[in-house]
Amino acid sequence: MYALTLICAGLANGALYALLALGLVLIYKTQDVVDFAHGELFMAGAYIGFTVYQLLGWSYPLAFVFSIAGGALLGILLELIVIRPVVGHPHVTIAMVTVGVSYTMKGVVRLCFDSDIHTMPPVSNSSVSWGGVVIATQSLINISVAILLTVLILALFQWTRAGLRMKATQQNPRGARVVGIDTGKIYALTWGLAAAIGAAAGFLAAPVTLVYPDMGAQFILKAFAAAVLGGFDSVLGAIVGGFLLGVAELLAGGYISTRLIDVASYLIIIIVMIIRPQGLFGRSAVVRV
């Protein structure tokens, strides 16, 4: 009973990790770039939602739409202005660019909104009772969104032309260009998609985590852990990793020690890297020297 409650709550948290990890994996697969600013895209989603709903007073669904659209726009702009020029440079350079973006975004938000903590209401305040376990409807929504988006992305890759072009660009950018694929558009599309997903996660997370400039910092590490666990080059791995991490955290916290909740993600990264660096679904060639 206790375990079931923890598992459900873990899945709810995991859904958010999965969404962020999904964005990270998409960008990594397409451009071989690790986006250290992803936590701030998450934060942006929360703040846009907050602005539209709480400050402007518009409807909740509209706030969600703006949040996703805003995120997508941010992602595309970032790719065009800041990432595109440095693709192909040493990894350190690219990583530092994303870190710079991360700090800039945090600073801008802090300047506009102050460091105050703001609140957002959840989509639904109700809860569902199932087999003696009480689950918040919001949790169910989060989980559903995560699964739905993953399925959509997988379908995108498998069946649509855009998806095929993305796969081609991933596997061989030069070859893709030779056959006429506009890799620039693909990069922008990828970032827009990844950022939109991250922003959605931020919007969904806001009611629980509360809205403040540093909210991305905690989540980015968990997203990394989820992606590492699932395999950094696997879309399926991102969602499985996210859910596993969410559940593992709470189970460890509930049965061993609450202090483990904080470090679970670090321990998972270290353990995975030692035992099986490519994660559950990743390819080994990607990882080893």
Residues that bind other proteins in the complex, under the rule CB under 8 A: 28, 34, 82, 85-86, 89-97, 99-108, 110-111, 115, 217, 221, 224-225, 228, 232, 259, 262-263, 265-267, 269-270, 273-274, 277, 286-289
Given a contact cutoff of 8 angstroms between Cβ atoms, the answer to whether 66 and 203 are in contact is no
Q: Specify the residue, 107 or 175, whose C-beta has the smaller distance to other proteins.
A: 107
Q: Identify which of residues 139 and 234 has a Cβ nearer to other proteins in the complex.
A: 234
To other proteins, the closest distance from the beta carbon of 2 in angstroms equals: 25
What H or E segment, with its residue span, contains residue 60?
helix 60-78
> Closest distance between other proteins and the C-beta of residue 269, in Å?
4
- Indicate the residue among 130 and 266 with the shorter CB distance to other proteins: 266
For the chain, how many residues are written? Answer: 289
* Min CB(47)–other proteins separation in Å: 14
- Report in angstroms how near the CB of residue 75 gets to other proteins at its nearest: 16
Q: How far is the CB of 172 from other proteins (least distance, A)?
A: 19
Closest distance between other proteins and the C-beta of residue 162, in Å?
26
CA-angle at 124, arms to 121 and 128, nearest 5°: 140
- Report the residue number, 62 or 99, with the smaller CB distance to other proteins: 99
CA 283 to chain centre: 21
Number of other CB atoms surrounding residue 7 within 10 Å: 18
Compute the chain's Rg from CA coordinates: 19
In 3D, which of 268, 257, 254, 261 has the Cα closest to residue 4?
Answer: 254
Compare residues 183 and 265 and give the one whose CB is closer to other proteins: 265
Does residue 245 contact residue 223 with C-beta atoms inside 8 Å? Answer: no
- Residue number with CB closer to other proteins (63 or 94): 94
Residue 10 in contact with residue 194, Cβ under 8 Å? no
Q: Are 50 and 114 in contact (CB under 8 A)?
A: no
